[in-house]
Amino acid sequence: MKIRVGQGYDVHRQGKGEELWLGGIKFEHTHGLIGHSDADVLIHAICDAILGAANMRDIGFHFADTDPQYKGIDSKILLKDVMELVRKEGWELGNIDCTIVAEKPKINPHIPAMKNCLADVMSVDEDDISIKATTSERMGFVGREEGMAVHAVALIQKA
């Protein structure tokens, strides 16, 4: 059996009054994330991890932030498209492991809903998705609440 591992990392700036989408779920919060799409930093890191594992470049290569068709797009659509791309090449997801780095809001209460949403979009079992959350102990751009970051690792295998 052939397996591969990919790593994804994404950051987005925070802005007052912006919507906050993480893992396909809308959070109620005073600050959201700024981006060309809906700025779902979790989904973007997952896409990069999966694409990287399949040696298919990154999310920006497939869905350029200069392309007007992706302006404001729901990142769940991008994730679904990524899964179709890698499946066409004969790959299937083994699992993903993600860490969201954010000071606020509290992420842990929303993890079950995010896992459920992502599993549905990706057509995988919730058990194949691990989401963790941490802060940066008030250090750096995350600590100053200027942005959020996500680290993701994906394991894929030939179907």
Q: What are the structural domains, with CATH classification, of the chain?
A: 3-158 (3.30.1330.50)
Q: If you average pLDDT over residues 55-76, what whole number do you get?
A: 94
**CB of 9 closer than 8 Å to CB of 152:** yes
pLDDT of 1 reads 86
State yes or no: 151 annotated in a binding site.
no
State yes or no: 61 annotated in a binding site.
no
State yes or no: 99 annotated in a binding site.
no
What are the pLDDT digits (tens) for 109-136? 999 999 999 999 999 999 999 999 999 9
pLDDT of 144 reads 96
State yes or no: 128 annotated in a binding site.
no
AA identity, residue 85: L
State yes or no: 136 annotated in a binding site.
yes
State yes or no: 135 annotated in a binding site.
yes
What are the pLDDT digits (tens) for 25-34? 999 999 999 9
State yes or no: 29 annotated in a binding site.
no
State yes or no: 41 annotated in a binding site.
no
State yes or no: 10 annotated in a binding site.
yes
What is the token pair recorded at 151? 């680290």
Integer Cα distance of 156 and 141 in angstroms: 32
pLDDT of 159 reads 76
pLDDT bucket at 3, cuts 50 / 70 / 90:
very high
Using a 10 angstrom Cβ sphere, with 0-12 exposed, 13-18 middle and 19 or more buried, the burial of residue 23 is buried
State yes or no: 127 annotated in a binding site.
no
Integer Cα distance of 25 and 38 in angstroms: 11
State yes or no: 60 annotated in a binding site.
yes
Integer Cα distance of 26 and 42 in angstroms: 12
pLDDT of 137 reads 94
State yes or no: 11 annotated in a binding site.
yes
**CB of 32 closer than 8 Å to CB of 51:** no
3-class DSSP assignment, residue 151: strand
pTM summary value? 0.97
3: β partners: 157
